[in-house]
Amino acid sequence: MTELPRLLLRCLGVARAEPHTTEAERDGLCRHAAGRRRVVVIGAWQGVTAARLRDAMDAAAELLVIDAFSGGRLRAGARRLVARRVVARVANGSVHWMRATGYEVGRAYAATGKPPVDFVLIDGDTSYGGLSGDWAAWRPLLAPGGIVALHDSRSTPQRPIDDAGSVRFTNAVILKDAAFTVVDAIDSLTVLARAR
């Protein structure tokens, strides 16, 4: 079965939403997001990871979910509907959806003067330029002691992705940033904390 029929079954509630992260990655993300107040997810896919993070964050927290939802009108619309339904099943904090790139929303967020965020999951555009843009936009918006998690940022024996742009940018730029320390590595996920 191709992607579109599966998405339509998920829209109807007949099939479960498909995660883009492993169970171990989601568990680790929840540990690091527990009690956080301003949580950002770049790359919603079908909402499974965003829903788990919504459940883990502080009860009064705000979750900002960002995704351009590209890939054709019907496919993007179905994926967006599935993601919204999955995240809506969790009644914790508030959720704001932005249909744009992480870079675009980061730049707009910076212009608002809102407080820094304390948790960011970057799992959108995994090209070198895509991660570079998201990093440039959200790095200065992360509070001291805040967490940034990078999906598809490292290879695993089960998933060798050393040539992926996101892995190359993580190794060339992010891991060399003295303001951040790696605090966890789970499957293809790298979790860093900003220095206090």
Distance of CA 17 to the CA centre of its chain: 16
Span 16-45, average pLDDT: 94
Is residue 6 pLDDT above 70, yes or no? no
- Could you read off the pLDDT of 110-140 as tens digits, one per residue? 999 999 999 999 999 999 999 999 999 999 9
Span 99-116, average pLDDT: 96
Element (H, E) at 133: helix 128-138
CATH of the domain at 136: 3.40.50.150
Number of structural domains (the chain) is: 1
166 contact partners, CB below 8 Å, separation of at least 6: 126, 127, 128, 130, 131, 150, 151, 152, 153
Q: What are phi and psi of 73, to 5 degrees?
A: -60, -50
Closest by CA to 110, choosing from 140, 130, 133, is: 140
Is residue 29 pLDDT above 60, yes or no? yes
> Regarding predicted confidence, which is higher, 75 or 183?
183
The range of the structural domain enclosing residue 9 comes to: 3-194
> Regarding predicted confidence, which is higher, 13 or 57?
57
Percentage of residues in the chain having pLDDT higher than 70: 92
